Structure 1
Amino acid sequence: MLRKLLAAALLTLPAAAHADWYEASTGHFTVYSEQKPERLKEFATKLERFDKMVRALRGAKDEPIDRANRLNVYMVDNKSVVAKLAGEKWAAGFYRPRAGGSLAIVPSSSDDGDASDLNAQQILLHEYAHYMMWSLSPSAVYPSWYIEGFAETYATTRYDKDGSMVLGEPPQYRGYSLLSGNWLPADKLLTADTLKLSDEQREGLYGRGWLLNHYLQFSGQRKGQLVAYLSAINNGKSLAEAAKVFGDLKALDRELERYKTGRFSGLRVKAEATVAGEVTIRKLTPGEAATMDVRIRSKNGVNEKTAPAVYAEAKKAAAPYPNDVGAQLVLAEAAYDAKDYAVAEAAADRAVAADAKAVDGYVYKAMCRMALAHKAKDYGKESWTAIRKIIAAGNRIAPQDPEPLILYYRSFTEQGVPAPAIAKDGLFDAFYYAPQDNGLRLNTAAMLLLDRDAVRARALLAPLAYQPHNGGMAKFAAMLIAKIDANDIDGAAAALGERDKGSDDSD
């Protein structure tokens, strides 16, 4: 997330030709692609209809959200590019939940392969189902089998020609694990969060989780048991205690074994319930198009080893476009990540000069000032008051953008002074706008715990303790919950202090 100007002479060189990039904006998504505008609009419309379907089925209101809280979808050339960005050889698409910039990366074409392949659309719908789960129920506690089973149920949504959508199609890509035996029997599936799973068992968490969720939701059998089970967990029962709702778990396994070889019913949602709102298509500026590749790499995330190369590419790509807000924000991000704070702040200033409403420009300017203050060991009131004025300017432009709210709270903790109530309220608001960001969830819980508000802190930590893809953070959250339950608030606060000493929040 950062960058820098080249020598003035280079600014006069003509820019290299770049493919046309387009942006599709909907109420809940911002999609970037080199596809033809017509195909991009069709893709974005399908995503928006999926959002409408989930909300309709869960009885959730569709309230307007700030652009910063929409999911950013980047469509890249092919699966090879996706795999390289993901750092996983077989990745066909992936999602990263972040406050002020959740993103998904998928290939432009997802219709290759056969029915047994997990395609990009299914991955995107699976991950967006996670996004919706935490957005609509930020404080609910769900066990890992249900988290994945719920997402798998929505991932296979079928779009029919009459405009209706069908929920509940079997995930053919889980066929092998489902039909090769019972890799995760019910007694282990329902308590998987407390176990160390093998690779086969982890695969079973998805396939078997889907099977159990589908059986309880669509078969007509065991009515009310799923709700009773989830209610028990949310009322503080252990996983083993909650599982007693299902009675004999070996009997449940036998039922699932029969069910998986039968015919699966689903739920058809009528077209009128999933009408998408307006989809706006915009051609990106030459500067935005020229910096899109490095923007995707930067947004995906860098570390100390990879940041310098991304920064070098950002400088080269942005140099011909000193007055392009998009290009300068890419440079500001890449330069900041590479710890070239002077260049990052200059780029942020140019972005704000080009567009006074460029919130990220204020964010990066403030972050650079904070980093430089730390470097100079300057914790004086004058410097940090000036930093907060920059943050406040960004917040006034977009009050629902979580990043200025988070940064405002951080400005007090990093200065080493107590945060006032307005800063604490702001951090909690940021969590409200981006509950899918687990780091923000943990930091908000930490703030509450340090204020000895153990009840609300525990409520935020409980969902984190069960999440299947956050092993270290989940274990840390579970440890904090154990200390809270033992009324060891000081011990929990001390554990948070040790964690903060070993972390780097500069990024």
Structure 2
Amino acid sequence: MMLVRWCVAGLCFITALPVAAQTSPPRQPAPGESTIVVNGGIEAKKSNWKRAESDHVIVYSDGSDAELKRVTNNLERLYTLMSRLYRKGDTSDDTAKLQVTLFDSARFFEKMDLQGQRWQEGPYPPSFAGQRYYDPREDGEVLAVSRSDQVIKLATKKAFDKECDKVLGEGGNCNEILPPVPTARSWESVLYSAFAQHFLLTYTRAVYPRWYVDGVGALFSTMEVHGDGSIDYARAPDDYRQVFNAYGDLDVKAVLSGAYLEPSTTKTRVMDWTPYHAWLLAHFFTYSKLNPARALQFKAYMTAIHQGVPMAQAAKIFGDMRRLQSELNIYASNSTSYARTAKHQPFGSDPLIATLSLGGAALIEAKIQLGSQGNADWIAGLRDKVAKIPHDADALLLLAEAECRAGQDEACLAAAERVLAGTPDDARALAWKGVALTNRAVAGAAADRAATLADARKAIARAIQADSQSPLALIAWFQSFTKAGEKVPEPAILGMARVIRQVPAAPAPRLYLGAELVRQGNPELARNILYPVLYGADDSPEKKAAQALFPATGR
């Protein structure tokens, strides 16, 4: 067997791959690059959508090439900058590349009915919500952002009440108050914020409160790249004082204790949490000159959160919250500093940009929706789309995935086989064939189970041979045992641990492995692997399932 050495969660493993996976893999086509065969010819029509690939991200957009190149390069610059700040300059990376899709419409979130099941932000008022979607999927994280600036409403009841009190104090009439003009938050700020949060969840091992994740995103959302290559970051967002006036001053006790996360009526809520509030609190704790005692309190608070201490209990570390609130109020009223890097910061080469086929572009939305959809009507619509491009391998693979995840195993197998008929070594098609055959074996007659499982594992082994870096194939291999109620052998367990290293922010692989380790009598290692899921800020279906594995503590 070929042995692959790697580490995850502080532990080093030797991964033994299936024998069939011990040869060099051929190149797999990138999503959207698959050819469309029509009457023996190659479909030449191209779409307006482009695909840019760099060292750490893949970005899809129907905007200009110049914009796509600039934004992709800036994401690489941000990766390098955050690696210096959070990883002591280590820029090595063996995780799956983040896939970013930039939509022209600001209403894409509603139009596509996206449900953020594994990641939450805020909670924010409507002006700040619904412009991005992040899904840490088991085969790689997906981020979607609107290329339209956010229009921030400043004419709120809080703003009116403050102005009315002022006018009445001067003997005026509140009916004569003119509403303030809205301000704007650039879409690139939203993108850089989301990437910074992704970086924090992917490349650091700590567990953070949600306000801190929001805050780190806000700190880097205002990054500015200069012509000499230097980068400003942690800059104050434009019009932040007007935002505080409209949505309330930062309520430090509510945030640090987690009370701001609880449902509340507008009448009783002192502050509506926004990215601007997140910026202020994160800036205060990380970029102000905290006195030594306050700095130690903050360190102790963050340590307690990492250890799973409830926010309300951890917040008591700060002592007198009124004094801390006073410090924040003074800080908010003063000018704040920001950081600037040295000139000519390296970030790698320009991205490779390719134009998607009409078939690839037609499935952009469906690929994003796959993480939150899957009902019968949606799959029926996807089948209709794929029927219009029946020879597009990428379309068939998307359909195979949707069918398998919806439990339509025979339809999944049929779609995978259609791809394999033209490309026998397609790794994704082989993996979905293995998944479908595994499900067929489990649901079928007991007499046929062993033979069908053997066929499933042969297909999966070929998938790993074709692409040994594919999380999909390694997950399929692992689940060919768990679904059948069999003990997972050590090589497959180590394969799943390898998946976790590739997609560390995804909760599903951690749950798969953790559940099996509990079943095999190793709950402590299971808890270690599930730690980010159990104690992280996001409420996901996997978090509830992980908590159920440890009923004694519930956490």
**TM-score category, normalised to shorter length:** 0.7 to 0.9
* Structure 1 position 29 matched with structure 2 position 60: no
Map 1:399-410; keep pairs closer than 5 Å.
Answer: 399-410=468-479
- Report the AA paired with residue 191 of structure 2: L
* Structure 1 position 251 matched with structure 2 position 280: no
SS in 1 for 2:137: coil
2:100 pairs, out of 73, 77, 93, with 73
- Report the AA paired with residue 110 of structure 1: S
Partner in structure 2 of residue 133 of structure 1? 200
1:63 pairs, out of 75, 88, 92, with 92
1:276 pairs, out of 348, 356, 360, with 348
**Contact 1:431–1:444 (CA<8 Å) still a contact in 2?**
no
CA distances 1:343-379 after superposition (whole Å, capped 9, x unpaired) = 4334323434544553221222112222333442457
- Report the AA paired with residue 149 of structure 1: G
* Structure 1 position 212 matched with structure 2 position 251: no
Larger mean CA deviation between 222-231 and 46-55 belongs to: 222-231
Map 1:50-449; keep pairs closer than 5 Å.
Answer: 50-58=78-86, 59-65=88-94, 69-87=96-114, 91-107=130-146, 109-111=147-149, 113=151, 116-138=183-205, 140-172=206-238, 178-180=244-246, 185-192=251-258, 196-198=262-264, 203-204=272-273, 206-223=275-292, 224-225=295-296, 226-234=298-306, 239-240=311-312, 242-298=314-370, 301-316=373-388, 318-319=389-390, 322=391, 324-336=392-404, 340-355=408-423, 358-378=426-446, 380-449=449-518
Partner in structure 2 of residue 505 of structure 1? none
Taking structure 1 as reference, are residues 81 and 13 closer, same or farther at Cα in structure 2, changes over 3 Å only? farther
SS in 1 for 2:290: coil
% identity of equivalent residues: 25
**Contact 1:143–1:193 (CA<8 Å) still a contact in 2?**
no
Taking structure 1 as reference, are residues 22 and 372 closer, same or farther at Cα in structure 2, changes over 3 Å only? same
1:432 and 1:97 map into 2 onto residues whose CA distance is: 13
- Report the AA paired with residue 159 of structure 1: V
SS in 1 for 2:340: strand
TM-score, normalisation: structure 2: 0.74
1:199 and 1:104 map into 2 onto residues whose CA distance is: 31
Taking structure 1 as reference, are residues 291 and 473 closer, same or farther at Cα in structure 2, changes over 3 Å only? closer
2:99 and 2:529 map into 1 onto residues whose CA distance is: 25
Name stretches of at least 5 consecutive residues in structure 1 with no aligned partner.
1-9, 486-491, 493-507
Shift in Å at residue 304 of structure 1? Answer: 3.3
Taking structure 1 as reference, are residues 468 and 85 closer, same or farther at Cα in structure 2, changes over 3 Å only? farther
Shift in Å at residue 119 of structure 1? Answer: 4.0
CA distances 1:290-341 after superposition (whole Å, capped 9, x unpaired) = 544544444664333422122222222x22xx2x432332343344456554
Larger mean CA deviation between 214-223 and 236-245 belongs to: 236-245
SS in 2 for 1:142: coil
Shift in Å at residue 118 of structure 1? Answer: 4.1
- Report the AA paired with residue 383 of structure 2: Y
1:17 and 1:459 map into 2 onto residues whose CA distance is: 50
2:287 and 2:100 map into 1 onto residues whose CA distance is: 31
Structure possessing the higher radius of gyration over alpha carbons: 2
2:241 and 2:445 map into 1 onto residues whose CA distance is: 58
- Report the AA paired with residue 374 of structure 2: V
Shift in Å at residue 86 of structure 1? Answer: 4.6
CA RMSD, Structure 1 to Structure 2 (Å): 3.5
Larger mean CA deviation between 123-132 and 298-307 belongs to: 298-307
CA distances 1:113-146 after superposition (whole Å, capped 9, x unpaired) = 57834443233222222221122124x2222222
SS in 1 for 2:144: strand
Taking structure 1 as reference, are residues 174 and 404 closer, same or farther at Cα in structure 2, changes over 3 Å only? farther
Partner in structure 1 of residue 167 of structure 2? none
Name stretches of at least 5 consecutive residues in structure 2 with no aligned partner.
1-37, 116-125, 153-181
* Structure 1 position 19 matched with structure 2 position 88: no
2:289 and 2:186 map into 1 onto residues whose CA distance is: 30
**Contact 1:191–1:239 (CA<8 Å) still a contact in 2?**
yes
2:239 and 2:440 map into 1 onto residues whose CA distance is: 50
Taking structure 1 as reference, are residues 51 and 353 closer, same or farther at Cα in structure 2, changes over 3 Å only? farther
CA distances 1:29-83 after superposition (whole Å, capped 9, x unpaired) = 11122334333222211111111111121125222436xx111112233212343
- Report the AA paired with residue 99 of structure 2: N
TM-score, normalisation: structure 1: 0.80
Larger mean CA deviation between 378-387 and 200-209 belongs to: 200-209
SS in 1 for 2:253: helix
Taking structure 1 as reference, are residues 234 and 343 closer, same or farther at Cα in structure 2, changes over 3 Å only? closer
Taking structure 1 as reference, are residues 104 and 233 closer, same or farther at Cα in structure 2, changes over 3 Å only? closer
Shift in Å at residue 425 of structure 1? Answer: 1.6
Larger mean CA deviation between 413-422 and 399-408 belongs to: 399-408
**Contact 1:216–1:222 (CA<8 Å) still a contact in 2?**
no
Paired residues, number: 469
1:32 and 1:484 map into 2 onto residues whose CA distance is: 44
Shift in Å at residue 480 of structure 1? Answer: 5.3
Whichever structure has more strand as a proportion of its residues is: 2
